[in-house]
Every structure is written in structure tokens, then in C-alpha cells.
Structure 1
């Protein structure tokens, strides 16, 4: 069964509730979810941890999005580290840089990014990276901050082959969202087609970036099937084989438990 390696399902995104959304995805063939909690006051992080604590098919990632870097203070870092040490939390993230909207100043984003990489190293958990229009600075900070000690995931991969090669060398896997299905995403499609099979993951980033044929609509975890099917076509692989491989890659990277054996 597929794993959605990155989704946001907190109540401000899905009024019907996370359980309804995740149950729809399970009915479609998605077996597990990495629910990412990021906002300016850790409400979403707490929600992700609580959801993972009561649903065995959910694993949490907690962090601070670069948009909210200006809100980070010592108290928030301390609480985030406490949350990150919880057994339900499998990664620190998403964290990184976003130079598109610049909701937080560039230097603040860079400082907080380094602080959060250090936090991940302290708790010994992999990192989920958000990077937008900041490829050079993202890689430089990862290298300088020793991120390869814990490795992680380049979430919603939207860069080129050169970036992919440096990220892979730093022990970061590449996670592809619905963007890969867009006609304009030629560079991303090239990477998805050629990346090592044991280093690729799939995600929805729901409620954002719905894949074709849902582009422009609210995305949800069930849509990861369409992204996976599209990538399988790029790679000339059977859908079932790629679904199984990306699920295994996600389990290995985030140290998730093996799926329960079916009765027979």
C-alpha cells in the first residue's frame, strides 16, 4: 500500500475532520501517512502528534515553516524540541527557506533554519526540507550545519538535476508531489524519471498542489495515487512496483514500522 510521505490535515484545512479525509485515502489504497504540523504557534504540530498518538497509520513531523521564522523564539524552540522527541514524531519539518513570498526576512529564515537543523541533530531524527527559490542557500546551510548526520527528505521536489545530485550526496531523498504531473514541470519530470529508485518518495502536500486531473482543486491524501501513477509512467515501471518501492523507501528513511501482515 502507498504511503503519503507529506500531508497537512489539520482542521483549518479540512473542516470535515482528519479522520474522514484519511479514511477516504485508506479506501483508495493509501496505507500510511506522514502528517506534517507547521504554523506560527505550534498548534498544528501539537495536532499532528495527537493524531499520530491515536492512529497507528499516522506518523507526525513537526517543525516551523520558513514563512513563520520571524515568530520563533527560545520558548518555541524548547517546546518544538520536546515535541520532536515524542515517539510519534518521525522527522523534524518542514523547515527550510522560502524566498518567493518572504513572509520572514531572509537572514531570519537562514538563522532559524540552522537552529532547526541543530535541533534535528540533537533529537537524532531526519529532516523534511522546504525550499523555494533558494537552492544555493538551502544546500549551503544543510552542508554547513551538518544535516547529513541525520539526512532526510527534500519535500515537494521542484528543483533540477544538479540540485538533486547534491541533495542525494547529503543523504536526502527526493519526494515528488502533484507538481510533477504539471505540463510545465519538465525539469522535475526529468529528475523523477532518472533518480535512483531507492531514493524517491511520493506525497500530496495536501491540501495544496493537487495533481492532474484535480489541479486547481483541494488536494487530499487519496490523490497520491495519481502522482505515483504518473511517475511510474515516466520511469516505465508498473504502478504497483513503484507504489511498493516508494512505501519501502519512506519506511526506511523515517524508520517506520513494517506493515502488518494480512490474514490469509
Structure 2
């Protein structure tokens, strides 16, 4: 499933084969389309398309080229139109100083009106900026409410503009121009987009992908953009599809069900989410602000049974490795780890355990020898470089000496010839070089994790 969050199927470019365009989109896996209003009449046509096609949703907007047509009555009319069931956003709105088809001051006035309208209606904004990046940012900072968000569509700015958009809480979408042969610099900027803020769009009929450059674009061509993003971000095409679908559902409330998962693939690994219980309460933990990792819903209604876990795995040989890593600490269910791993190893599958290192404390005994022959690699989340930081940030259940016990667990893994990786986090007060020294002295592999990056 993929979602085209920005296209203009109401344009006359599609008058001859609109039904065919929708059919091709479905066949390509496009499950939702946001048809974006770019004029007063275009907005009304978008709503009609949303009524006609089940996969189409509408946004209300006036492109900055048409800003001179915006009056107070326009805003009142849009406020009424927003009551239509499938209206999901305000946009596209913003500034375009490339052609100045509406005077700059008129564009600014209209943009402010739409920001306030979106705030009143609690709808996200679909933002347009061309040769006006600084002004767009300044206006957003001054005019939008704190919790207002949206997407910077057809992104074409530099790394600084990207950072400032992200700091404002915006999602980011690039069109199929990301696939162009001469878009090397744009692809470099795109590497800085967190997957959790990425959306897909065609901006059809404009900017068809490289394979069809110069021709009319359409939602079915979104698959070419998915392929390009998989290269840019080092994820699988399925990852990109799933992540961006979740992001679009989160932003636009598209009524897509996202059930919780026990086994969840990322790249060529399969992760097992066997518990949500944890013996740390880390300040930075994603579980406190999101139920999702790389588009997977990891909120379990209950702890899965052994049979449910085995059924969720399916054929384990499809994956490079199977990893025990969920929203909780896997070693709280040591018997499950052992039973599942025994079956996996009988199939010649590599097994990795991601742990906070509390396994001995949780089970009131040393557990490493019980993992021998069952777990090939252990990844221990040490996170910080001192006991004081650990107690303050991770808040372990087992008291002030837990940090030392985590190191002892890692040492025991190393002594027993289990490949051992220790990870730390790039938190502001963490001495990364000291972390690396601690890990190297133990004889483990060091890996730095990035704050806010999961999966």
C-alpha cells in the first residue's frame, strides 16, 4: 500500500481518462490519493472527486499564483466546505516568488488567512514554497499555533531549509524529480529526511519520473519514487511504502487500520516483539511518545503466546537474521526466547538479541550460558558513559548499581564467545569517546545510536 499525498486529478489533463488513471493507481498499490485544491474552483472539483472515488480525499487550498482571488468570502466558503467528510487538509498554500503571478503582499495576506483557517479547523497544511523559503518560515513561526503541522510539498530547498522545516514539526515530501538523472544534489539533501517525517507525492500531472520525463505524471508512477527513496534511505521498498503510509495516515487521518504486530520486518531482518514490559524507564524511549517503529505498530494488547510468535515468523529463511527486539525487554520472557531460538537454529537461522542487559537481574540468575547455541549475537543498550547518567536517564528498576550489572552481563557474553555489541546514544551530555573506550576495553563491538532514530 502506498499513498499519493499530493496530486491534481481535477486538472483537465485527466479529463479523457480519469477513470483509467484511478484504475492504474489501484493496480500499482496506491490505496489513498489526496487531491490538492489549487484554486477556488479546483477545491470544489477536488471534493467532487473525493465523493466519486473511494480512494480519493480532498484538500482545500488556493495556490499562491491565484492568491489575488482570495477574499474573506473565500475563507468563509472553505470553512463550510471543510465539513465535507473526506476533506483532510488546507492546501496547497504558501508563497511563490518565481513568477509573482499575484503580488507578494497579496500572497502573504492570503497565506496568513489560510494558516489561521487551518488552525481553527485543526487541519494540517499542505505548504508551497518557491524562491520564498525564508519568508515562508518566518510567517509560519509568527502565525501558526504551536501544535499546528503540515507538509512542505515538492521540497527543493537546501539542508538548512530542511532542518528548519523539521524543527517546525513539518513533514517533508519530494516529487518524482528526485528520480531525475541531474538530481544528485537533491538526493544528497534527501538523505537528511527522517523516515518518520517522509511522505510520498507525484504532484501529477507535473514532474513525471525519469522514465517518463516530459510526459504527464500520474499516481501509478509513485512506485518509481518508492524505489528511489529505498536507495536514498537504505531501506527496502516495502519499508518505504509502510512508513510513508503510516505517516500519511497520522497526518491526514485517512482511516487506515494499523493493527499491532508481533513479527515486523525492517530491511532484510525480522524483529520479534514479544513483550511491552521493560525494566528501564528511559527518558528518550520512543514508547512514551509513539506506538510505531518504521511504520510498524508495536503496542501489544497482550503478550503473544509461543504459538502466536511462531506463526507470525512464517518462513524464517527469508531473512538475514531474526532479532528479539520490541517495545519491552525480551529477557523478561527468557523461556520464550529459548524456545523460539531453538526452533530457529534448527533451521539454520541467525538469531540476535537486543537487550538492556538486565537479564541476570530479571531472572535472578546468570542467563548467558542458557543462551549458548541459541543466540548468535547480543546487542546491549548501555546508552551512556557513567552510572550517574544511567540512573538519571534510564531509571532502572534494580537500583543504583544496575549500570555495573549491565557491564557484567556484557562481559559474560564476551567470555562465552557470543558476538557482543554495545550501543550508546548521542545524548547531549554523553561522552561518546568515553563510551567507545569502555566498550573497546571490554572487547565488544561499539555502535553509536542516533537520538530519535529507531529500527
Task: Report which stretch shifted further, 79-88 or 25-34.
Answer: 79-88
Verify: 1:87 aligned to 2:53, yes or no. Answer: no
SS of structure 1 residue aligned to 2:88: strand
Residue of structure 1 in register with 2:249 after alignment: 251
Residue of structure 2 in register with 1:236 after alignment: 234
Residue of structure 2 in register with 1:35 after alignment: 35
CA shift for structure 1 position 161:
1.3
Verify: 1:225 aligned to 2:208, yes or no. Answer: no
Deviations 1:5-62 (A, max 9, x none): 10100151212243321111111111111111222xx221111112212333111111
Determine which of 118, 121, 125 is the counterpart of 1:127.
Answer: 125
CA contact (8 A) 2:159 2:192 kept: no
SS of structure 2 residue aligned to 1:149: coil
Distance 1:220-1:229 versus aligned 2 partners, 3 A rule: same
Residue of structure 2 in register with 1:181 after alignment: 179
Gaps of 5+ in 2: 260-455
Q: Give the Cα–Cα distance (whole angstroms) in 1 for the partners of residues 103 and 6 of structure 2.
A: 26
Q: Give the Cα–Cα distance (whole angstroms) in 2 for the partners of residues 112 and 234 of structure 1.
A: 36
Residue of structure 2 in register with 1:51 after alignment: 49
Q: Give the Cα–Cα distance (whole angstroms) in 2 for the partners of residues 259 and 15 of structure 1.
A: 32
Verify: 1:197 aligned to 2:199, yes or no. Answer: no
Verify: 1:137 aligned to 2:135, yes or no. Answer: yes
SS of structure 1 residue aligned to 2:5: strand
TM-score with structure 2 length normalisation?
A: 0.55
SS of structure 2 residue aligned to 1:226: helix
Larger gyration radius, structure 1 or structure 2: 2
Residue of structure 2 in register with 1:115 after alignment: 113
Q: Give the Cα–Cα distance (whole angstroms) in 2 for the partners of residues 83 and 189 of structure 1.
A: 38
Residue of structure 2 in register with 1:104 after alignment: 102
CA contact (8 A) 1:85 1:123 kept: no
SS of structure 2 residue aligned to 1:33: strand
CA shift for structure 1 position 245:
0.8
Gaps of 5+ in 1: none
Deviations 1:56-101 (A, max 9, x none): 3111111010000011112222112211232211000000000001
TM-score with structure 1 length normalisation?
A: 0.93
CA contact (8 A) 1:161 1:187 kept: no
Q: Give the structure with the larger helix fraction.
A: 1
Instruction: Tell me the number of residue pairs that the alignment of Structure 1 and Structure 2 aligns.
Output: 259
CA contact (8 A) 1:142 1:148 kept: no
CA shift for structure 1 position 259:
4.8
Q: Give the Cα–Cα distance (whole angstroms) in 1 for the partners of residues 257 and 99 of structure 2.
A: 39
CA contact (8 A) 1:11 1:18 kept: no
CA contact (8 A) 1:11 1:17 kept: no
